[in-house]
Structure 1
Amino acid sequence: MAIWNLGSINADIVYSVPHILAPGETLSSTGRAIYLGGKGANMSVAAARAGAQVHHIGAVGADGIWARDRLLEYGVDTRYIETIGDLTSQAIIAVADDGENTIIIQPGASTLIRLESVQAALSEAHTGDRVVCQNETNLQVETAALAKQMGLKVAYAAAPFSAKAVSDVIEFIDFLILNEVEARQLTEALGKTPQELGVRDVIITLGSRGAEWFETEHGIHKTFEAYKVEPVDTTGAGDTFTGYVLAGLDRGQPMEQALRTANRAGAIMVTRKGAADSIPDLHEVQTVRL
């Protein structure tokens, strides 16, 4: 089996700050670094490092060839990453001393992906493969609809959050993952809780408190506690969690096992700086003591 990820690819420009800025506040940073990031890239790296075969569908600008090459180094198939225009998507990230962050996204090439690229990629998919989308690219609805038509399993990570984006893809997906703030916003916008949307598997991440899983077909509801660690940088933790869950399911793990493994991966990841470059591999997740 394989995972096909219509995903963003960012250059993450990360500034270390004493605390998250208040409106109107100016701060001097205590450090600056550039990493591979983007929700899509993070998920592809996480799934690949968790042992899945991952194909990334996306785009970079002429300034982002290094990002495509870095994905390849992590074991991601990059044949369907095009070079479009001059500007790779960017994220300007401020990370506070307590590990919390704020992020500004400059969309760039990730919003210029061609439908022909998606169609060419998915023409190689097989029954049982999984397709995942997030809200940092174009063509989410078209990709989810095509995947559904092909009989593939379709997952959607509802971030950056837009109730309309979720509503537009909801009929095509069987796996929805979002955090508790997004879940509340979705309920307010649509008048339904996430588990009332007709999606078979719904995961709500709870940050340092773990995650909830709803399997709506049989009415299953389980909570999974997070590991207690001292966070250094929470950027990409949710993406790491998602990538590991999907990789576990792709390898045939039951949802409970995939979620526990993903919890461990996320806990390790937040003790390191950076996004995609800080994601642990499966051996680390299985052996590091928490």
Structure 2
Amino acid sequence: MTIYNLGSINVDLFYQVPHLPKPGETLSARGVTEGLGGKGANMSVAAARAAARVCHIGAVGSDRVWPRDRLLEYGVDTRHIATLDGQTGTAVIAVDPEGENLILLNAGANARISDHAISAALSEAQTGDICVFQNETNGQRHAAETAKKMGLRVCYAAAPFEVSAVRDVLEYLDLLILNEIEAEQLQTGLGTSLDDLPVADVLVTLGAKGCRWLGAAGEKTFDALAVEAVDTTGAGDTFTGFWLAGLDRGMPMEQAIGQASIAAALMVTRHGTADVIPDLLEVQEFMQR
């Protein structure tokens, strides 16, 4: 099967700072690095490294096309990544010594993906494939509606979070993943509990506390692995990519969550985003310890 990912592609600029800046504060960074990022790109790389077939739907700007080529190197199908006039998306990421981060985004080409391009990519999909998207591109409702009509499992990774964005695609979703704060915001915004959402499976990530799965059989909590975090950037995206790859390969939900938890735990012990996401062999070796 295949995972179709309508996802953002960014150039990430990482600044190592002594602490996250306060309003009006000027900080001297201890170092800066450049890498591949964007929630969409991170998820595509994670799913590909988890042995899934991944087709990325997105766009880069004519100023920087290397992120598309990097995705191809990581095993992602890039045929449906357009090159548009203008800027590739960028993210400025400040990371403190405890691994916490602050992120500034510029959408660039991520906000100019055509409905035609989305439809062309999904026209290759088969019933049972997965379509995932995040809130860093345009075209989310079109992708969700098209994928649902074609019999795909539709997943929304609801970040950056907006209640209106979730509401716009909610009727098409089979899978919804969001963090603890986003879950509270969604319940407040919709005036309903997660249990009452018209979504078969809802996954709430809890950071170092693990995650909650709300499905047909009720609610189940999973503990996170205890590791020394140095950078939490991209951990949630890594979790999502490995989770979907597990489901795509026919894993039971609990097993897919367990695999994703290990991948995310390994991820937070590294500095960077897409370029340092662990592969399936690393996760399996960790499981055998």
Q: Distance in 1 between matches of 2:18 and 2:206?
A: 24
TM-score (norm 2): 0.98
Are 2:3 and 1:3 equivalent residues in the alignment?
yes
Structure 1 SS opposite 2:147: helix
Q: Distance in 1 between matches of 2:129 and 2:224?
A: 28
Q: Distance in 2 between matches of 1:277 and 1:21?
A: 26
How far off is 1:112 after superposition? 0.3
Structure 2 SS opposite 1:226: coil
- Aligned residue number for residue 256 of structure 1: 254
Q: Percent identity?
A: 60
Structure 2 SS opposite 1:105: strand
How far off is 1:232 after superposition? 1.1
Q: Which sections of structure 1, spanning at least 5 residues, go unmatched?
A: none
Aligned residue runs from structure 1 range 84-233, under 5 A? 84-215=84-215, 218-233=216-231
Aligned residue runs from structure 1 range 263-274, under 5 A? 263-274=261-272
Q: Distance in 2 between matches of 1:179 and 1:228?
A: 18
The superposition leaves residues 209-265 of structure 1 with CA deviations (integer Å, 9 ceiling, x where unpaired) of 0100000xx342111111111111111100000000000000000000000000000
The superposition leaves residues 136-181 of structure 1 with CA deviations (integer Å, 9 ceiling, x where unpaired) of 0000001000001111110000000000000000000110000000
Structure 1 SS opposite 2:272: coil
Contact 1:183–1:193 (8 Å) recurs in 2 = no
How far off is 1:64 after superposition? 2.4
The superposition leaves residues 98-118 of structure 1 with CA deviations (integer Å, 9 ceiling, x where unpaired) of 000010110100010011111
Q: Which sections of structure 2, spanning at least 5 residues, go unmatched?
A: none
The superposition leaves residues 167-198 of structure 1 with CA deviations (integer Å, 9 ceiling, x where unpaired) of 00000011000000000111111101223111
Structure 2 SS opposite 1:63: coil
Q: Distance in 1 between matches of 2:73 and 2:183?
A: 35
Are 2:81 and 1:81 equivalent residues in the alignment?
yes
Contact 1:46–1:279 (8 Å) recurs in 2 = yes
Which letter maps to 1:79? R
Contact 1:7–1:136 (8 Å) recurs in 2 = yes
Contact 1:3–1:130 (8 Å) recurs in 2 = yes
Residues 117-126 or 193-202, more deviating: 193-202
Q: Distance in 2 between matches of 1:92 and 1:236?
A: 13
How far off is 1:124 after superposition? 0.5
How far off is 1:26 after superposition? 1.6
Q: Structure 1 runs of 4+ off > 2 angstroms?
A: none
Which letter maps to 1:92? V
Contact 1:245–1:262 (8 Å) recurs in 2 = yes
The superposition leaves residues 64-98 of structure 1 with CA deviations (integer Å, 9 ceiling, x where unpaired) of 21100000000000000000122000001000000
Aligned positions, number: 288
- Aligned residue number for residue 283 of structure 1: 281
TM-score (norm 1): 0.98
Q: Distance in 2 between matches of 1:195 and 1:46?
A: 28
Aligned residue runs from structure 1 range 62-77, under 5 A? 62-77=62-77
How far off is 1:6 after superposition? 0.2
